[in-house]
A and B are shown apart, each in its own frame.
Chain A
Amino acid sequence: MSPEQRQRMVQLLQVDETFRRDYVRLCQLSSQLMWAAQGAPPDLNLRDRGIAIPAKNAVTRVSRRKRLSPQRVSLGAIVVLVALGLAWTFRPNRESAPLGVVSSVTGTVAVVRGNQPAMPLRADDVLKAPLPMRPGDQIQTDAVGSAVLVLADRTRILLGPESQMTLAARPDARVVVSSGHVTAQVAPQRADAPMIFVTPRASVRVLGTELELMVSKERTEIAVTEGKVRVTRSADGTSAEVSAGQFLPVDEDESLAVIDWPTPPESWSEDFESGLPPGWTGQFVREALPAGSRGALQGRAIPEAPGLRMVAGSPLIERGLFAWHDDSMLHVTFRVQPPAWFHVCLLARTYSRREPLIAWCRVDPDLWRVRAGEWRTVEIPLSEFRWTGSTQPEATLGRIPLQLTFVGPGDLPGVVIDSVRVERKGFEASRLSDPSAGGDPR
């Protein structure tokens, strides 16, 4: 049994009660057959159990013909049949070669294959052995789940929370997104065989680009980060081209109107070496810095903002501080003097709304449990930032960070930031070049 077959079998044993029962029956039959062929198992300790065992010389040797009674032969036949059934179940499917692999998952993610029950995927299992995806396989995520798929052509698809996506082998629909949020970096395609994402409202034809999709029954939103795509509305066949830095909502009735959104740089940094940059909030400090540093930023109390009591942060930049990608990393070098603590917050806008209205924060007590006075650098993936707010924001595409702040208690200004920078790890660097992460599924 190949590792893939073994993994599939374990998954079926975990989720399919019927399969589990049949498997147990097979094992029982197999044991009985073995006993029938070899006599009683040697380690039963029958004497200890009070079962009388005939004297050695009283043992009657059973002839081979007698041991293979018709009943036992039928048992053997059943076992063989079940084994054949299992082999059929796990036979190599030459017609449906894997289209790609699920290379990593977080939260609750399940794969549905055919009529079988949904198989939950565990992050550890997927990291050890990326799960091959075959035509027709559907992947689902819950509210805290996400999954990364790497297709055979190195196209990488990040499936966000509460999403559902099916891989299809049809030339007119390679990926069917039923709902949720998808970010895809599509490898260059042949002109006659483009990558086509199909949603309930539209189809998106891609020759090689990076894009985001947000799909619901009523609406599909497409945002292009790099390159160009053609979007066709399913209802009436109207289409529009969407280029990098553009955003297109597709509804049932409204005309297709492409919206421009700013494209901030992929990288951004501030090291406070030359003093407090214009517009920044906080105090510039020159003392007790890490080696090689000439300046740092210390928080200061903001009495007029009782909710956000200690604030140090950047000015609000309308064009965006940096591009938000889930695989971008925020690097912060800081010192915390306990019991001070801080959250890292990003005030962001969406593609369709200009006003900053959403704060995404990173809250992690481990950040603050440092040794007093010790400088520390952490890398926080932007995917780990969580929306904070008391009301559910409008479901729409896009996060453009306009302002970065460090928020903490105002009476404990013991947080000093020496440098902060954002860099994108990149699909190739992060996943595709790593053979252990699934790389080329072929």
Chain B
Amino acid sequence: MNRRHSISTRALVLIAGLVLAQQPGCRPAGQMATEGSEAVSAKEPESRLALEEPVGRTTQKVISVKPAPDSAPPSMRTGAVSGPLLPFKAIGAGHFNGTSEPLIPRLPSGAVMGLSPQRRFLVTGETIDKTGLVVRVWDLSSMKVVLERQEPNGIEAIRFHPHGRSFTLDVGSVCDSKTWVELGAATALRPRQTDAGLASALAFSPDGRRVASTGSNQTVEIRDVTGSATRHSLSGHQHPVQVAAFSPDGRTLITGDAAGQLIGWDVTTGKKQKTWSFASNLLAAPVPAERHKSDLPAGNSSESNSTSAAGGGPVSPATASEREVSSSAASGLTAIAFSPDQSVLAVATANGYTQTFDLASGAALSPVFHQSPVVDIAFAADASSLLVVTQSGTVSRWWRAPAPPLLLTQQQGSVRFAALDAAGHRAVTGGVDRQLKVWDVDRQSLIRTLDNGGEAIATGALSPDGRRAVTAAYGTGIALWDLEGMKSLGKRYGHQKRIWAFAFAPDNDTFASAADDQTVRIWRINSPKPIRTIDLDAAVRFVRFSPDGKGLLAATRDPRGWQFPARLQLWDAQAGKPLAEFRGHRMEVNSAVFSSDGKELTSCDAEGEICRWNAATGERLGSRHYPIGLSHSGLIVRHGLIVIRRYSSGVLISQAGDLTPVSSFDVPARSISDLNVAALGDRVIAGTDDGAVYVWRLGHE
């Protein structure tokens, strides 16, 4: 224990100087500390580790670590970390049911957790033996531990002060012992009597001037923090109110009760604005099997209620009567959070679900089941993901996903080629069923089936205007298709080995083919022979024209395999001479896409690295690494988004500019075999090994 203690102490010293502070003491049940004007100017010297001073029956420790203020500007202080918003609407509705990834190692059963009000920090408390536990503070932006401390006693709850710079570790039973931990500069606290009884839901307005709270009844009180007067007493719920949150603009307060009813209130007038009925079947859904008593923390679930209330302040430890209310709350809602742009509301339940709502229409969006009661939720600052804390000890990020896709077809066998025209209205698919199928995407109907002469289709390309297509089987022949006349234009030959990739130039007439014979050949639809052949030094697996059609990008494969780096070069498509080479990938480059002006390009490789390059000079401008292989990239021009296939059935959407991930989701299939985009039509098409073809529509069409 002592050794651990000294290690954690050294860590604290390394991270920041520790400041000890003495804080006001324990509050009786029902009292609530608020960030008020009556600040106690108690700046502590910065050299002491801890100071314990019994106040009444309470022992308090105050620890501070620098620099780590939860320093969001007041305007952003609700439900999300500050930061620039990503093109939120580009992805579509607020479905947060995409890929999930754990943010921290799973915590053991009985661990306690708390999110800071601005969602910058996560505090976890893990029991390490029967009598002690280790408390860690995680910076959610870097997912690194910024504070680690060993506590001799078990704790029941972690509760943040609304300003986010300090939290309490509630130790033992009623007001027995409390430890204050300061994350930044010490801010004085002074308790203020508000409710009599338990404050079961708490929310501070973004500017910190108002607080909404509710006791065990069904009334919500909005008060001025600086004064004692109640501004509004809100009545409308038929069941105990469990959660509350202010909107980012501070004008609306949303409260939720045990029956799942959500009410939006005008903060200024105190009038009811809107009522949503949370999906009753969701609340009625079975409680996860994990939610047994053995899985609950030593106390009960009261910490989940108190910390989950947005801006859950340092309310007092639960009394016996409070625990009864808290147990009833375990069957209802546990947290709500606004998206930063106020378009989506996320709600969490004690039976393990999160559900998002479109705040404009009130429509329920995709629910997600988390296998365990959800303790707390928070939107990432850029609205790309939803952070979910569960009682079983998981803290995970759920990425955004577009609205559910259209199923264009489910055909026999694997679909190897699926493409959209630039506008996204026409799709072409082909696969081992030996057919080229032309689809009307808007109507989800098959326009025509063209027979491929008994050959499977292994790869292909569709012209930007959707009037021409080229395909290849597993050999050297190129099949040309007239999709206006819906007929085959015959085959062209020239390659000596298998063709792997095609690309159309913007003129809709010129196309390039890449093959194992170490050549890229450039063709015109009506010419029987290639108009140009570019010789490379290895098999070519990828080819793409620049937006002006003058440049041609080609990626080769090392003879030893995809695990080895090969070459990514830009060629002059007319002169057949190299213009630039892009060096830096550590494995084979599977795909690359130009920016809309052609000045930059973004490439992705089998290792999972995305690189951004200066197309003229080959200078590397930035990179981002993912743990799994990437391929099949495409650019959605209007939103500046890059769509990439993530092995084996995932789709990753990043900002083209800085490669920041925006969305990540999985296709319901074993594997995606082809992925393409409609550059001007905001649509994505995926052909799968299962024979299904899905089309997503990004944005609000």
User: A residues engaging B (CB < 8 A)?
Assistant: 108, 142-144, 285, 287-288, 307-308, 337-341, 343, 361, 363-365, 368-369, 371-374, 386-392, 407-409, 411-414
Contact partner of B690 (CB less than 8 A), chosen from A343, A369, A373, A392, is: A343
Is B411 an interface residue when CB atoms closer than 8 A count as contact? Answer: yes
B289 CB contacts on chain A under 8 angstroms:
285, 287
B689 close to A388 (CB less than 8 A): yes
Select one of A343, A364, A373 contacting B407, CB under 8 A: A364
| Cβ-closest 7 pairs across A and B | A373-B285, A288-B286, A337-B369, A339-B97, A390-B414, A341-B668, A372-B367
Determine the distance from Cα of A373 to Cα of B352 in the docked complex, in whole angstroms.
11
B residues less than 8 Å from A392 (CB atoms): 413, 432-434, 456
- Please indicate the chain B residues that have their CB under 8 angstroms from the CB of A343 in the complex: 668, 690
Task: Tell me if B281 and A372 are in contact (CB < 8 A).
Answer: yes
CB distance A371 to B281 under 8 Å? yes
Contact present for A373 and B432 (CB under 8 Å): no
Contact B690 A361, beta carbon cutoff 8 Å = yes
Q: How distant is B627 from chain A, measured CB to nearest CB, in Å?
A: 15
Judge whether A363 and B690 touch: CB under 8 Å: yes
Decide if B279 touches A372 in the complex (CB within 8 Å).
yes
A-B contact pairs, 6 of them (CB 8 A): A143-B412, A288-B286, A337-B369, A339-B366, A365-B404, A408-B668
A337 touches B285 (CB 8 A): yes
B416 and chain A: residue at smallest CB distance: A390
Indicate if the CB atoms of B410 and A364 lie closer than 8 Å.
yes
CB of B410 within 8 A of CB of A363, answer yes
- Closest chain B CB from A144 CB (angstroms): 7
B282 within 8 A of A: yes
Q: A337-B353, A338-B369 are in contact. List 5 more A-B contacts (CB 8 A).
A: A143-B435, A361-B690, A365-B668, A374-B281, A386-B691
A308, B355: Cα distance in complex, Å: 28
- B343 interfacial by beta-carbon distance below 8 Å: no
- The interface residues of chain B lying within 8 Å CB-to-CB of A108 are 449
A413 contacts which chain B residues (CB < 8 A)?
371
Q: How large is the interface on B (under 10, 10 to 19, 20 to 34, 35 or more residues)?
A: 35 or more
Q: Judge whether B588 is part of the interface by a CB distance below 8 angstroms.
A: no
In whole angstroms, how far apart are the Cα atoms of A142 and B434 in the complex? 12
Contacts of A338 in B (CB 8 A): 97, 366-369
Q: How far is the CB of A145 from chain B (nearest CB, A)?
A: 9
How far does the alpha carbon of A146 sit from the alpha carbon of B193 in the complex, in Å? 76
Q: Is B405 an interface residue (CB 8 A)?
A: yes
| Binding site secondary structure of chain B | loop
Compute how far the CA of A343 lies from the CA of B410 in the bound complex, rounded to whole angstroms. Answer: 12
Distance between A59 CB and nearest chain B CB, rounded to angstroms: 54
Residues of A within 8 A of B669 (CB): 363
CB-based contact B434/A371 at 8 Å: no
B282 and A389 form a contact (CB under 8 A): no
B666 at the interface (CB under 8 A from A): yes
Contact of B414 among A388, A409, A414 (CB under 8 A): A388
* CB within 8 Å for A144 and B411 given contacts A337-B369, A371-B279, A372-B281: yes
Residues of A near B9 (CB, < 8 A) are none
B449/A144 in contact, CB under 8 A: yes
Q: Which residue of B lies closest to A369 (CB)?
A: B404
If the complex has contacts A337-B285, A338-B368, A343-B690, are A389 and B413 also in contact, measured as CB distance less than 8 A? yes
B347-374 CB contacts (< 8 Å) to partner A:
353, 355, 366-369, 371
**B694 closest partner in A (C-beta):** A365
User: CA A285 – CA B289 in complex, angstroms?
Assistant: 10
**B589 an interface residue at 8 Å Cβ cutoff?**
no
**A408 to B690, alpha carbons, bound, how many Å?**
12
B413 touches A143 (CB 8 A): no
B51 lies within 8 A of chain A by Cβ: no
Q: How far is the CA of A144 from the CA of B281 in the complex (A)?
A: 39
A339-B97, A373-B281, A389-B414 known; A143-B433 Cβ under 8 A: yes
The minimal Cβ–Cβ distance linking B407 to chain A, given in whole angstroms, is 5
- The answer to whether A390 and B668 have CB atoms under 8 Å apart is no
Q: How far is the CA of A365 from the CA of B694 in the complex (A)?
A: 10
**A441 CA / B628 CA spacing, docked (Å):** 61
Expressed in whole angstroms, the minimum distance between the Cβ of A15 and any Cβ of chain B is 15
- Minimum C-beta distance from A330 to chain B (A): 16
Question: Bound state CA distance, A159 and B367, in angstroms?
Answer: 43
Whether A365 lies near B369 (C-beta < 8 A) is no
Q: How far is the CB of B574 from chain A (nearest CB, A)?
A: 38
Taking a contact as CB atoms under 8 Å apart, the answer to whether B368 and A287 are in contact is no
Task: Verify A386–B668 contact, CB threshold 8 A.
Answer: no
Docked CA distance A373–B666 (Å) = 21
Q: Is the CB of B282 within 8 A of A365?
A: no
Chain B residues with CB under 8 Å of A408's CB are 668
Cα A374 to Cα B286 with chains together (Å): 10
Chain A residues with CB under 8 A of B694 = 365
Q: List chain B residues, Cβ under 8 A from A369.
A: 404
Q: Which residues of A contact B449 (CB under 8 A)?
A: 108, 142-144
A387 touches B369 (CB 8 A): no
**B 412-440 binary contact with A (CB < 8 Å = 1; else 0):** 11100000000000000000111100000
| CB of B533 closer than 8 Å to a CB of A | no
Give the CA-CA distance A44 to B353 in the complex, in Å: 69
B376-426: which residues lie under 8 A (CB-CB) from chain A? Answer: 404-405, 407, 410-414
| B143 CB-CB contact with A under 8 Å | no
Smallest CB–CB gap between B498 and chain A, Å? 15
How far apart are the CA atoms of A372 and B446 in the complex, in Å? 32
User: 1/0 per position for B666-701, CB-CB distance to A under 8 A?
Assistant: 101111000000000000000001111010000000
Whole-angstrom distance from the CB of B385 to the nearest CB of chain A?
14
Q: Complex Cα distance A374/B407, Å?
A: 23
CB closest residue in chain B, given A343: B690
Beta-carbon contact of B368 and A390 below 8 Å? no
By beta carbon, the residue of chain A nearest B665 is A339
Cβ contact within 8 Å between A387 and B412 = yes
B42 at the interface (CB under 8 A from A): no
* Closest chain A residue to B668, Cβ basis: A341
A386 B412 Cβ-Cβ under 8 A: yes
Nearest Cβ on chain B to A29's Cβ, whole angstroms? 34
What's the minimum C-beta distance from A143 to chain B, rounded to whole angstroms? Answer: 5
